[in-house]
Structure 1
Amino acid sequence: DGTSSGKREKHPEACMDRATFACSTAFFRDFGNSAPGALPGGHVDFIDKVDSFTYSDFFRDYLIPNHPCIFSAKFTEDWGSRKTWVTWDGKPNFEHLLQKFGEAVVPVANCDVKEYNSNPKEQLPFKEFEDVYTTPVYFSSDWLNEYWDAVAVDDFRFVYMGPKGSWITTRSPGVVEDTISINHNWVNGCNVAVMWCFLQDELAAVQREISQWKDPMDDWHLQCQLIMKSCTGIDYKEFYNFLKVIAENRISILEKGLDEESSSQNNSKAAISTLGMLHAVFDLKRTVKVLSSLSANEDFRKLDLSSLSPSPEALLQHLESAIDTALL
């Protein structure tokens, strides 16, 4: 279990056009930070054809309103993992995997033990990985992995392999048969406000749980942040740094562009560039919205913000200036 070896798919339509930019602007003006509601009857669209389904279609109809959809197998038919990792009847080809990757070191979870809301892992050999999947163009705007790639700590792309009865996360049901699951978790400007609301709810839950210690504990608010981070993987100051990395990458694209060498690389900045100027502006506008809320948040303001560079106020000013300049 555990690899982030997917390549980013190149696609000429991975760009926000003016119609989609106008649609996204109107949506967040009308609905603010909330989606208009679930689809009737819990309906989830099935997207069959790749050629007729553009990035703009996905962004407008699913990302902006935060609606789920399912891609057909046609979207992944060129993945190497679909050709070599499974047998003719679709079952995991563990014999091939052991021969190919036997010495690679991967995290293996003990599903019978739970520690701090997750399963403990140990590093065991499973050979080195090759490129086994291509990230679909529709996931090009990926703030979550863009940030974690930048800080070089971890990422949220992984391959799960496990026998019948094991599970991918502690909150998911056990798999019903031997399974290989390629996972790519991501956040972007369409739902970053939802992420911020989630963090506020998580902190409030922690504060309620240890409220009896508020008066006798001098650093109670710091302990709340620490506990929240142990549960969610992020606290308020790191969330600020997350927004800062996203913002500065887009400001760099708007102000300096991307040189030819960087454009040819398979990294986050190259992906941002292919999405176009309007997408960068959209991302900055969403960042301003959430960063403004974070900066005004009482719990955030209780923290020592002197270590943050630039300051939230200075970053906000830079963002607003970059947006104004780009829209001239």
Structure 2
Amino acid sequence: MVQELEIQSGRLTVNKKTAVVDWIDYVDPSITYDEFFSKYLAENKPCIFKSSITENWSCKRQWNLDGAPDFDVLDISFGDCVVPIADCKTRYYNSQSKDDMRMKDYLNYWMDYAKNNYPDSMPLLYLKDWHCQKLFPNAPMYTVSEYFASDWLNEYYMAHPDLNDDYRFVYMGPKGTWTPLHADIFGSYSWSANIVGEKRWLLFPPGQEEFLRDIHGQLIYDATSKELENYAVYKAYDKRAIKYIDVIQKEGEIIFVPSGWHHQVWNKKDTVSLNHNWINGCNIMDVWHGLKKELNSVMKEVSDCKEMSNWAEQCQLILKSTYGMDYNLFFDLLKFIAKRRLSMVLEKQNVITFNRYKLGLNHCIFDLHSIKLTLIDFINDMEEKSIYYLICEKQQAHKLLNKILLFNQFLLAWQVPLLGYHVSQSLLINYQQLTLLQRLDSTQRDFVSIIE
């Protein structure tokens, strides 16, 4: 049965606030989607869902043996897979050294490590960022909760199998394995569910990471290190002023980590967890700002080569290789999501996510509004950098923006009586934005072009 995800029309704003808090809410899975949307997504505020949220997951029953990993089941299911392994004792720049290992060999190491009481003399190895669900799409593992189902990132990648990527991961490792201080990729949200074990999280609200940078602007590797007390190097550090959350996530619980929250994580026990990174209408502007900032850094770094004929193209290549996304991929994501939302509203083609949820009308209109605002800044930035025609040779960004603005005009003209929806003034056209479209032919403004 398909479940509808809907928000109240009053929620149709992208004026997200980020609360600088030093506590975390524990949320019962009976909370409505709209409540989670308004209290946590829109406020960019973390929370922990109580353990009943995962009690019916297949992997919770199969991979967990009396509170410990079921190594036999994991070996039978995945023993021949090659999996990514991080060495928690070996630093590589500001991350950990990584290599590949056969799952069977990793499980044997883990059992031996635990049997010998986790000795310092042995390596500390952590299986991280394993695309298990992509590799085993038909294996019953878990059901994405409704709260995390508005997920543009995985919606895009699951619809483009040729890209051979996604942002759904499995993590597993013995007691003591850990992840250094970082913020999630692209400035995305993440959720993490403990199938086995416990994690300790240090969570820093956006801006608080500035206390943890050295005189060169580099984040500290370990936020609990005594290096921070070297004030000649970490001049901004002030343990009395910095705000953070220090929390234990127990078995079965799911933690929601908002955009831009730096965090450091330890496995307090032998632990297996699932994680998704995700983007939606609430944080797409944060994602865009992060991408724009990264390109500015790349351009500054290679500014001495600016006279090269293909300098702008090289900047995009560097951006893609170091950040994982460039302007072309970002725009393709926006275009894909916008087309699906327009089709839902105007042609009543359901937007189905994770084969289980469909987006409601208000939700689709909210998504389109978020894309509109993002596109306006995206276009302005490309024009300021003189790279618009590098990314949009056929003016695709203006045309997409025009479709969304025409849709807004349609709502305003008709007050959508057939849909029974009252249009919020915050979603209607700001006619100053139409100056961006002056270069387009009037024929491109026909309503029939909205979903082309």
**Given the two structures, how large is their TM-score scaled by the length of structure 1?**
0.79
Identity %: 34
Paired residue for 2:374?
290
Superposition pairs for residues 213-292 of structure 1, below 5 Å?
213-215=305-307, 217-258=308-349, 266-267=354-355, 271=357, 274-292=358-376
CA distance in structure 1 between the aligned counterparts of 2:156 and 2:385, rounded to whole angstroms: 20
CA contact (8 A) 2:345 2:361 kept: yes
CA distance in structure 1 between the aligned counterparts of 2:101 and 2:337, rounded to whole angstroms: 31
Instruction: State the AA in 1 paired with 2:168.
Output: R
Paired residue for 1:38?
19
Instruction: State the AA in 2 paired with 1:79.
Output: W
Any stretches of 5+ residues in structure 2 without a counterpart?
105-131, 183-263, 417-452
Q: Does 1:93 align with 2:70?
A: yes
CA distance 1:63–1:84, shift in 2 (3 Å): same
Paired residue for 1:22?
10
CA distance in structure 2 between the aligned counterparts of 1:159 and 1:309, rounded to whole angstroms: 40
- 1:256-311 Cα deviation digits (max 9, x unpaired): 2237xx96x954xx73xx22111111100100000111011136641544766671
Structure (1/2) with the larger helix percentage: 1
Paired residue for 1:148?
157
Instruction: State the AA in 2 paired with 1:109.
Output: I
Superposition pairs for residues 184-203 of structure 1, below 5 Å?
184-203=276-295
CA distance in structure 2 between the aligned counterparts of 1:300 and 1:179, rounded to whole angstroms: 46
Paired residue for 2:61?
83
SS of structure 2 residue aligned to 1:70: strand
Pair member with larger Rg: 2
CA RMSD, Structure 1 to Structure 2 (Å): 3.0
Paired residue for 2:36?
58
Q: Does 1:163 align with 2:142?
A: no
CA distance 1:232–1:21, shift in 2 (3 Å): farther
CA contact (8 A) 2:334 2:371 kept: yes
CA distance in structure 1 between the aligned counterparts of 2:334 and 2:322, rounded to whole angstroms: 20
CA distance in structure 2 between the aligned counterparts of 1:147 and 1:203, rounded to whole angstroms: 22
Instruction: State the AA in 2 paired with 1:24.
Output: L
Q: Does 1:212 align with 2:304?
A: yes
Moved more, 120-129 or 159-168: 120-129
CA distance in structure 2 between the aligned counterparts of 1:242 and 1:308, rounded to whole angstroms: 17
CA contact (8 A) 1:144 1:156 kept: yes
CA contact (8 A) 1:221 1:299 kept: no
Any stretches of 5+ residues in structure 1 without a counterpart?
1-8
Moved more, 280-289 or 118-127: 118-127
Quote the offset at 1:228 in angstroms: 1.7
CA distance 1:42–1:108, shift in 2 (3 Å): same
Moved more, 162-171 or 199-208: 162-171
CA distance 1:66–1:305, shift in 2 (3 Å): same
1:68 to 46, 63, 68: 46
Instruction: State the AA in 1 paired with 2:75.
Output: L
- 1:53-82 Cα deviation digits (max 9, x unpaired): 000000111111211111111111111122
1:318 to 365, 381, 403: 403
CA distance 1:207–1:82, shift in 2 (3 Å): same
CA contact (8 A) 2:281 2:367 kept: yes
Instruction: Give the length in aligned residue pairs.
Output: 296
CA contact (8 A) 1:254 1:280 kept: yes
SS of structure 2 residue aligned to 1:248: helix
Structure (1/2) with the larger strand percentage: 2
Quote the offset at 1:93 in angstroms: 1.7
**Given the two structures, how large is their TM-score scaled by the length of structure 2?**
0.59
Instruction: State the AA in 2 paired with 1:292.
Output: I
SS of structure 2 residue aligned to 1:190: coil
CA contact (8 A) 2:12 2:362 kept: no
CA distance 1:176–1:149, shift in 2 (3 Å): same
CA contact (8 A) 2:95 2:180 kept: no
CA distance in structure 2 between the aligned counterparts of 1:314 and 1:228, rounded to whole angstroms: 25
Q: Does 1:138 align with 2:147?
A: yes
